[in-house]
Amino acid sequence: MIRIFTDPAEALRRDQAAEARFDEIREAVSAIIADVRERGDTALIEYAKKFDKADLDSVEVPRDEIDGAEEKCPPDLIRIMKKAAAAIRDFHSRQIRQSFVINEKAGVVLGQKITPIEKVGLYVPGGTASYPSSVLMNCVPAKLAGCSEIVMVSPPSAGGTVSPVILAAAKIAGVDRVFRAGGAQAVAALAYGTETVPKVDKIVGPGNAYVAEAKRQVFGRVAIDMIAGPSEILVIADGGSDPAVVAADMLSQAEHDKMASAVLLTDSGELAEAVRDEIERQLSSLPRKEIARASVDNRGRIVILPDIPSCAALANTIAPEHLELFVDDPFAVLDLIRNAGSIFMGRNCPEALGDYLAGPNHTLPTSGTARFSSPLSVDDFIKKTQFTYYTADALAKEADDIAAFARAEGLEAHARSALSRRKKEISEK
């Protein structure tokens, strides 16, 4: 049963004590990465047999299989996925950056050039955690950014296939190539390349602890979106909230993973007890009740605080992935929030809306990293390059100050470099 706290410090200590230790995972992932680097596709095929029980002749999904996937899916689901893709595209199109040029001083041109990342690798979970929504959320912003090639990896079924729903989502989103590979081995293939899997410049997408650790280990060789931890939801709710709805929203994240975190912060002791009872009642009928039970018992908590501003202050300390505001005036509380991945405003905005149809991205910072990082966006798929141009006269006006600054830092070669053009001009006269 989820526990109720009145001391926020105690609640936070309990959360920190529950952090997992991944020494064994790190060692296993390191060995897998080294193996894939050495043996390429052969290693991927062997790992598919070992971990996915799949016999593969090759790792790439044929293009005609991707193109024909929609016919194998329920038509209504295809309609919904296309609707979701349109909403995601509409929201993210407003994030597109433009290059700019500054030409305000005589002889000086400054600017910033926006260039898409060339090759992007998208990891998509398979098996019991098959999320076509993640295909859309990760691929659509990359397409808007202008990335020239987007490749996807996803674990095969025991029959050696990738789910038609995942393939259909890939077709809708604009994925270029798909490979039957999962786990740390798929991340290694994207980072280093194999005979058939192209080496990419950035890897994005969610995965289990092995995938997260693999992304951590290849970072620097390639860019990554983030090190994603288990899913999190934090609800701030006042006494006027419906406990059944609050409980349902908390369980929507608890069913993801036994390490998922569902938290309620409230100024009402009565609501706290009612939500606890509702969680117990609703758990019994959930198909994934074993997972949700472990999550709420071990990682869930309810904290009673004096008022809603106190709830907002504690939420800023926790910096949750998803934050729901069950209050009459959510826009007033919004001004109090500094740290959250995505905020869901009011009593009629479940986190599930953001997972699927609203349009904002559902790839979000976890484990408190919302203190300094942001949701996935078009910005994650571009590079910003600065450029500078000075004429001889413009540089001559600044050369003495550049040299003085350089010498103050003990960098004489810098100073001489700035002054060297002046000597060249004199010699030419």
Q: Residues with catalytic annotation?
A: 321-322
Residue type, 136: L
**DSSP string of 146-172?**
T-SEEEEEE---TTS---HHHHHHHHH
Long-range contacts (CB closer than 8 Å, 24 or more residues apart) made by 386-392: 386/110, 386/111, 386/112, 386/113, 387/109, 387/110, 387/111, 387/112, 387/113, 388/109, 388/110, 389/108, 389/109, 389/110, 390/107, 390/108, 391/106, 391/107, 391/108, 392/107, 392/421, 392/425
CA-wise closest residue to 34 among 22, 23, 21, 47: 47
Residue 316 and residue 36 in contact, taking contact as beta carbons nearer than 8 Å: no
d(CA 427, CA 424): 5
**DSSP string of 301-347, one letter each residue:** EEEE-SSHHHHHHHHHHH--SEEEEESS-HHHHHTT--S-SEEEEST
In Å, how far are 392, 420, 424 from 427, measured between CA atoms?
14, 11, 5
Sign (positive or negative) of CA dihedral 128, 134, 138, 140: positive
Element (H, E) at 387: strand 382-390
Tokens describing residue 315: 């939420």
Contacts of residue 316, defined as CB under 8 A and 6 or more positions apart, other chains included, come to 336, 337, 338, 339
Decide: 200 and 151 in contact? Cβ < 8 Å: yes
The three-state secondary structure class of 60 is strand
